[in-house]
Chains A and B, each alone.
Chain A
């Protein structure tokens, strides 16, 4: 026990009590610190959209044996939550949000091989698409990307999705939320048609319906009995969490 003689009293006592070496005692303490540092740095990198930095931190987390579930939830998803909130407030602009989402996606690729069964339980399942006869996908893609970043599992049906296609897929995957986008006033009625088709298929009560797109308003959402209107991708995340009761 010569090695602990020079250390100040409290530590010496601890060391003696544990009958362990200094190095062994200090390891859990340093490891906790390292975990916090890695996760915090990762969050900062995602927030800034620093792709290389975020990937490096994720690799470090893997190398240091951190739990991938914690890297995902406390790092990536927590950071993307902040990004979404800032965007909804107008404190972040679209390219910055895209960069953060891209950084997250690259980190996810690194993490994927290490996930165990049960690590990847999504917040909820979202079925999303641009409605029938509408080919606009920019807004819909932003929403899908941000929901994915927030930990939702996304099934994206693309553009020009008919009411029947929404219903068929909804019956198959049983989503928590059906999200529809329309950018044309002429295609907005397709949202109503889809809601009616969900009703006819008797699954309207098992899903929440979220709608959005430039000409869409909260009044229109009320009119067609959608559950919620989301004006942008950041709001879509906030509303989606409210809909499934996790916020």
Chain B
């Protein structure tokens, strides 16, 4: 299971302030905390700055990669910000994200195909967000086909089924689980990824819902998750689920995490 640490996002007030003040130490520390908690990629998002996004995103890439020796998840739908950020990045980045929306696809493709990278592909149709399993699978399959045609390798594609709040539609969780299973079964080699926190929007005790949902996604074969790796309730859900699915030999990781005090009990 690939973990993308989600914390460096300017929609969080303290991150936004640190970016405005160019506080390298603060951003570096948040990156280190996530790396130590097991993140494989660190997500960077400066979207709230709109006009200054390209400049700030580059600053984040440099600042985070000074602090940790990890690749980053460049989180922006803005082609200009992406093309600048990717120049500053060392290693193979993950790009978050592309969709079938025509303008976005056309603008992002040249940047994506210019170097090796992993790509988050949203199950979003051109003009609407499909609600059903079929609608999302259709959109995702079409996007896979287009990316493959552009020379992207299947194993570099990370399908995002689009997690919607279960508070609005009680089937929203189940739909995502079904979509994950379908892609993992019908498209050998492809990866699936999702953000978790959306599922619990509008409900109390969100960490409980997020952790349980993560376990269910893992059971369906989810290959990567965008989450807060320093949240011990998520770590607990992740490690126990992987162990129960027979992916933790001698239960080593689980016991190790317990002994380090990383399980929220």
* B50–A189 CB distance below 8 A: yes
Q: Contacting A186 at CB < 8 Å: which of B78, B164, B170? A: B78
Complexed CA–CA distance, A196 and B20 (Å):
27
Interface residues of A in 85-109 (CB under 8 A from B): 93-95, 98
For B168, what are the chain A residues with a Cβ–Cβ distance below 8 Å?
A: 94-95, 98, 138, 142
* B129–A135 CB distance below 8 A: yes
Q: Is B186 an interface residue (CB 8 A)?
A: no
Which residue of the partner chain B has the closest CB to A189? B50
Q: Is A185 an interface residue (CB 8 A)?
A: yes
Q: Contacting A93 at CB < 8 Å: which of B11, B127, B129, B203? A: B203
* A93–B128 CB distance below 8 A: no
Q: B157-185 vs A: 1/0 string, CB under 8 Å?
A: 00000001101101000000000000000
Q: Is A14 an interface residue (CB 8 A)?
A: no
CB distance from A138 to the nearest CB of B (A): 6
Q: Contacting A185 at CB < 8 Å: which of B50, B128, B164? A: B50
* A136–B129 CB distance below 8 A: yes
Known: A185-B50, A186-B77. A93 touches B124 (CB 8 A): no
* A215–B77 CB distance below 8 A: no
* A138–B165 CB distance below 8 A: yes
Q: Is B93 an interface residue (CB 8 A)?
A: no
* B167–A214 CB distance below 8 A: no
For B11, what are the chain A residues with a Cβ–Cβ distance below 8 Å?
A: 214-215
Number of interface residues of B (CB under 8 A): 24
Q: Is B204 an interface residue (CB 8 A)?
A: yes
Known: A93-B204, A94-B201. A135 touches B124 (CB 8 A): yes
For A138, what are the chain B residues with a Cβ–Cβ distance below 8 Å?
A: 164-165, 168
Known: A93-B202, A95-B167, A217-B48. A135 touches B77 (CB 8 A): no
For B195, what are the chain A residues with a Cβ–Cβ distance below 8 Å?
A: none
* A135–B128 CB distance below 8 A: yes
Q: Is A127 an interface residue (CB 8 A)?
A: no
* B203–A184 CB distance below 8 A: no
Q: Is A159 an interface residue (CB 8 A)?
A: yes
Q: Is B249 an interface residue (CB 8 A)?
A: no
For A137, what are the chain B residues with a Cβ–Cβ distance below 8 Å?
A: 129
Which residue of the partner chain A has the closest CB to B126? A135
For B170, what are the chain A residues with a Cβ–Cβ distance below 8 Å?
A: 95
Interface-centre pick from B48, B49, B124 (highest chain A CB count, 10 A): B48
Which residue of the partner chain A has the closest CB to B99? A135
Interface-centre pick from A133, A138, A159, A214 (highest chain B CB count, 10 A): A138
Interface residues of A in 138-172 (CB under 8 A from B): 138, 142, 159-160
Which residue of the partner chain A has the closest CB to B167? A94
Interface residues of B in 99-136 (CB under 8 A from A): 101, 103, 124, 127-129
* B103–A95 CB distance below 8 A: no
* B202–A94 CB distance below 8 A: yes
Q: Is B47 an interface residue (CB 8 A)?
A: yes
Interface residues of B in 34-74 (CB under 8 A from A): 47-50, 53
Q: Is A51 an interface residue (CB 8 A)?
A: no
* A95–B47 CB distance below 8 A: no
Q: A196-231 vs B: 1/0 string, CB under 8 Å?
A: 000000000000000000110100000000000000
Which residue of the partner chain A has the closest CB to B11? A215
A94-B202, A133-B103, A137-B129 given; 16 more Cβ-contact pairs under 8 Å? A94-B167, A95-B170, A95-B202, A95-B203, A136-B129, A142-B168, A159-B128, A160-B127, A185-B48, A185-B50, A185-B78, A186-B47, A189-B50, A215-B47, A215-B48, A217-B48
Could you list 9 examples of A-B contacts with CB < 8 Å? A94-B167, A94-B203, A98-B168, A135-B124, A135-B127, A138-B165, A186-B78, A189-B50, A215-B47
Residues of A within 8 A of B (CB): 93-95, 98, 133, 135-138, 142, 159-160, 184-186, 188-189, 214-215, 217
The 8 closest A-B pairs by CB, nearest first: A94-B202, A185-B47, A94-B167, A186-B77, A95-B167, A215-B48, A186-B78, A135-B129
